[in-house]
Structure formats: structure tokens, C-alpha cells
A and B are shown apart, each in its own frame.
Chain A
């Protein structure tokens, strides 16, 4: 569906995107992850034809953005980082204009606008000037603009930036719903967002792709052992001694006291080894009851920091 090959973009001498390639299958939701300035927006601007690449190709449905820009642009809906809205127009006027420039049939315009604005609950503000709307509504107007003409591909550049938590949840829910019908590339520097919405992740750092895989595979890859935090009623030295004696346990470390007369301990085991039953019996025998067992998952944040070479602050 979307094929990016050896894409490079130079701004003067500055290399913004460095020879990146990736593919997106029809119907998938791909998260494009990177820090600010990593090259996410530049890549998206190239795919949508806003700017041209210095070298490399971007193809959508087999059409090259440079050779057949019209065909490519017809099947893309783009929400840039800053929604391209005109402050002085009303929502209705603006959407009519977008319909006109995106070749929506004149007879279908009203019903189409109603249909897509229903998706983001924009109906109650249709007659208001865009400049007078809140940031959240302006973002939604930008979103609806991308949906005009029902494009197969949606490219959303940081769609939740600047929104309040409730709006963020709404927009994410909407993207998930849209993902059932559309192929979506979504950029973000917010990790839980990508973890929540996307099946596949492309991580970009300083213009280069450092990883691309499904989220599950990425977690698997980085996770060499299973970690859990256990809270035990008793002293640290006695508890760690008991835990170290269990078979399958690789590493034990006291994490300090979080609750009176208890101790928190990090227990690391080999992947696929379940020590919980043995641990329960052993600690019960020693009269040091286990009050809590919590698995510590590898988060996208861990993956991201590991791949981009940044240190994690504890």
C-alpha cells in the first residue's frame, strides 16, 4: 500500500531524513515514533507531496508521488502538525471548500460533510467561525478535513498535541475506529499513545529508522528476562535470602521499604519460568507472607530509550 524506499531529504546541508525505507500494509495502523526534530514531519510531508525528497521514492498504491502526484494525493488525507484551517471561515464554509478542492461531487457535498463531521461530533459548531473555536475543536476540524473524500490512507501528524486529556482519549478512540477502514500512519512522541493505537511501530531517530516491527515483537526482543516486584512482610535480608534460594530466580534486589514492616524486592527470572507458586510456598513456610506480586512489563518507553541511546532516569 505505502512503500517508502531510500528516502533522503536535505535542507541545505542539514540531513533531515537519512535514507529511510519502510512499508505499510493496507488496513494497518502504523505509529511513527521519534523525538521532536527526528524527521517525522519531514517524512510525512514528503509522502503527502507537500515537499519533495532529495532522493528516494514514496509510492502509494503503486503511484509515485513525483510522477503521479494527482493520483497519490487523491487517496491521502493529511492532518499536518498545525491543522491547515482558515480562522475567518465557518466550519461549514471551510469543509465545503475542502470538498471542492478534493474533487467531491457537488451533489454529495452536504451529505458527505454531515457524515464525516458526525464521526468527531462537530455538528454543533458547524456555523461558527473556526478562529473562535477551542484548540480541541480546531484539531477536530483538521481531522475532518483529512477525512474529506474518504481517502484510503490517513496521515496524521501528532493528532493529539495540545489537547486536554479527555480530548486526547476521544481522538485516540476515533483513530482506532478509523483504523478499521483506513490505512493510517500516525506520528507521535507520546509513547502510550502509539502503544494504545498502533499495531506496528516505526522508530526514527536523527533521520534514521532504528526499529520497525510490531509492538509485541519489539517488547519480546528487548525483554530477556521477566521481572516482578514482590512486597513481603519481613526484613529485607531474610526475604532476599529466601528468594535467592528458589530455583529459576536469576537476580534479587531489595528496593527499600514502601510500607511499614514490609520490604519491596525486585525478582528477576528467566523468560518463561514461573516461580510464583514455589515462591508463595517458600515464603509462607518462612512466615513471611507475600502481600503483592506485580509483573513489570517492558514499556514502549524502555524500547524507545534503548534504541535511541538515551539514558533512562530512575
Chain B
């Protein structure tokens, strides 16, 4: 598994993909940082000059869900198209370890981006009175941010395993992210209790709230981990299934 993980991480940085992801990630964070933390005006954002990074990070979760396909779209689609999947599917490796190896590689790139992202709270800490930015709280927020990212990555990996076209994988992953963000308010507005329940079970952002407040909630933690686990499992099943059907 670690051999696959190492190779995939190398692959992200041999090709432009890893750099592109980190660059977009930093660009969007920088814009949010400027709008929310630096400027005193409230145009569009509703925030101004906040001496706290949690709002910017919370906003970033939405953009994160739309840029994760950059990392995940090629993960299986490309191998299937180039038939390089023949290498690991005929090796003694189990499919689970291949999927996990690739998934962890994508998560590593996310972690690298998040470490670079620390520059923004550091800047806040340098220019505000001591104590206004809680380090512990910030870490909890980053944990939540990572979990939400990991969930979207797992969904993206699954989508990539279903197709051999990277474009299809990317577009479907975008669509899934959009439905997750927008579906909640649509289902809730229909007024049915059952639909509202479904909506709240889909609502990833609501679960992030406790992390944003600085609390590592057991239930949101389990929520993100189990959804990620579910999609990793489905990916393994999808690859296994294709060995039988051949399509």
C-alpha cells in the first residue's frame, strides 16, 4: 500500500497536477483571507477585518469541494484508459491496498496545501493582540477542514473508478459537490419532515459547525470518517465488479 501511496505522491509532483491543486487552493484562500480578514469593507462578503481565521476557513470548505476533483479525477480513470491498471491488478497487491494507497496520496497533497495555508492564521496572530487567536481552536478547525476534504476526496476517487474519462470524472464530481451544497436547502424548503431529515443527513457543512466552534464532536467525526470509508469501500467494489463484467 505504501509503495502505491509513495508512487502516487511522486506522480502528483512529477506532473503539474499537485502544483496546480496547491496553487488554486492558495489563491482561493488568499482571496478569502483578503476579503474576510484584511479589508474593512463588507462588500459582498458580509465580513470585515475579522481577527479570526475560522470564517475564512469555513468558507474555504465549499471551494475545497470543487477543487478536489483536480486531484481525484485521474486517480483510476487514467490508469484504466492507459491500461496501466493491469500492472497492479495482476500483482499480489489487494485492490483495497491500491485504493487506500491512492487515497492517502491525495490526502497527503491536501495536507501539504493545508500546511502552506497556515501562513494566513500566522499573519493574523502576528498583527493582533496575543490571545485573540486560539491555537487549539485553530487546530480543531483544521481537523474539521481536513475531514470534510477527505470526504470529498473519497467521493472523487469513487467517481474516478467508474469511468475511463478524466473529464467525465471531474464533471460528475463537481455535480456531486453542487448537489451536496444545494440539495439541503432545496429539500428543506419542500416542507416534508422526511425530506428535511434526508437533507440534514446530507448536510456536510452543518457537521463542520462544531469544529468551527472549536469542538471535536464525536458524531460529526464518525459522520465524515464513515462516509469516506463507505466511498473507499464502494471504489474497491467497483473495481472488483469490473473484473467480472469487463465493462
Residues in chain A within 8 A of chain B (CB atoms) = 9, 11-12, 45, 48-52, 70, 73-74, 76, 78, 80, 82, 84-86, 88-89, 93, 97-98, 100-103, 145
Smallest CB separation, B222 vs chain A (Å): 32
What distance in Å separates the Cβ of B97 from its nearest Cβ neighbour in chain A?
9
**Once bound together, how far apart are the Cα atoms of A97 and B1, in whole Å?**
11
Determine the distance from Cα of A85 to Cα of B92 in the docked complex, in whole angstroms: 17
- Considering the complex, give the chain B residue whose CB is closest to the CB of A82: B83
Q: In the complex the two chains form, is B84's CB within 8 Å of A84's CB?
A: yes
Within 8 A of A (CB), among B210-247: 243-247
| Residues of chain A contacted by B82 (CB below 8 angstroms) | 82, 84
Residue of A nearest to B7 (CB): A97
Identify 7 new A-B residue pairs, CB closer than 8 A, beyond the known A11-B245, A48-B86, A97-B7: A48-B90, A50-B89, A51-B246, A88-B14, A89-B10, A93-B10, A101-B4
Q: B91 at interface (Cβ–Cβ under 8 A)?
A: yes
Give Cα distance in the complex from A225 to B112, angstroms: 76
Q: Which of A52, A73, A85 contacts B90 (CB 8 A)?
A: A73
Which chain B residues border A85 with CB–CB below 8 Å? Answer: 84
Of all chain A residues, the one with the shortest Cβ separation from B98 is: A101
B residues less than 8 Å from A145 (CB atoms): 87
Q: Is the CB of B3 within 8 A of A97?
A: yes
A49/B4 contact (C-beta < 8 A), A88-B14, A88-B15 known: no
Whether A11 lies near B92 (C-beta < 8 A) is: no
CB-nearest residue of chain A relative to B2? Answer: A100
- Asked if A88 contacts B11 (CB within 8 A), the reply is yes
Q: Do residues A101 and B91 form an inter-chain contact, with CB atoms below 8 A?
A: yes
* Separation of A28 and B3 alpha carbons in the complex (Å): 34
A93: min CB distance to chain B, Å: 7
Set B83, B93, B245, B246: member contacting A101, Cβ < 8 A:
B93
Alpha-carbon distance between A86 and B86 when the two chains are bound, in angstroms: 12
B135 at the binding interface (Cβ < 8 Å): no
Total residues of chain B contacting the partner, CB 8 A: 25
Total number of residue pairs linking A and B with CB closer than 8 Å? 66
With known contacts A86-B11, A88-B14, A52–B243 Cβ distance under 8 A: yes
Does B88 lie at the interface of the complex (its beta carbon under 8 Å from any beta carbon of A)? Answer: yes
A selection of 21 A-B contacts at a CB cut-off of 8 Å is: A12-B247, A45-B86, A50-B243, A51-B243, A51-B244, A51-B246, A52-B244, A73-B90, A73-B92, A80-B86, A84-B83, A86-B7, A86-B84, A88-B11, A88-B14, A89-B10, A89-B14, A93-B10, A101-B3, A101-B88, A102-B92
**Residues in B neighbouring A11, C-beta threshold 8 A:** 245-247
Binding site for A on B (CB under 8 A): 3-4, 7, 10-11, 14-15, 82-94, 243-247
Q: Please give me the residue from chain B that is nearest to A87 by CB atom.
A: B82
**Residues on A with beta carbons closer than 8 Å to the beta carbon of B85:** 84
Q: How far is the CA of A145 from the CA of B89 in the complex (A)?
A: 14
| Min CB gap B80→A, angstroms | 11
Closest Cβ of chain A to B188, distance in Å, is 43
Q: Nearest-CB distance from B6 to chain A (Å)?
A: 8
Find chain A residues with CB under 8 A from B246 CB: 9, 11, 51
Are A80's CB and B92's CB within 8 A?
no
| A129 → B minimal CB distance (Å) | 9
In the complex, what distance in Å separates the CA atom of A257 from the CA atom of B25? Answer: 80
**A97–B243 CA distance with the chains assembled, in angstroms:** 23
Contacts of B15 in A (CB 8 A): 88
- Within 8 Å CB of B86, what residues of A? 45, 48, 50, 78, 80, 84
Distance in angstroms from A44 CB to nearest chain B CB is 10
Most buried by A among B7, B14, B85, B87: B87
A45 and B94 alpha carbons, distance in the complex (Å): 17
Give Cα distance in the complex from A274 to B90, angstroms: 53
Chain B residue nearest in CB terms to A54? B244
| Bound form: Cα–Cα A72–B245 in Å | 21
Q: Is the CB of B90 within 8 A of A50?
A: yes
Contact A70 B3 (CB under 8 A): no
Most chain-A CB neighbours within 10 Å: which of B7, B82, B85, B91? Answer: B91
Q: Which residues of A contact B247 (CB under 8 A)?
A: 11-12
B77 CB to nearest chain A CB (Å): 15
Identity of the chain B residue whose Cβ is nearest the Cβ of A12 in the assembled complex: B247
In the assembly, what is the distance between CA of A9 and CA of B14, in Å? 39
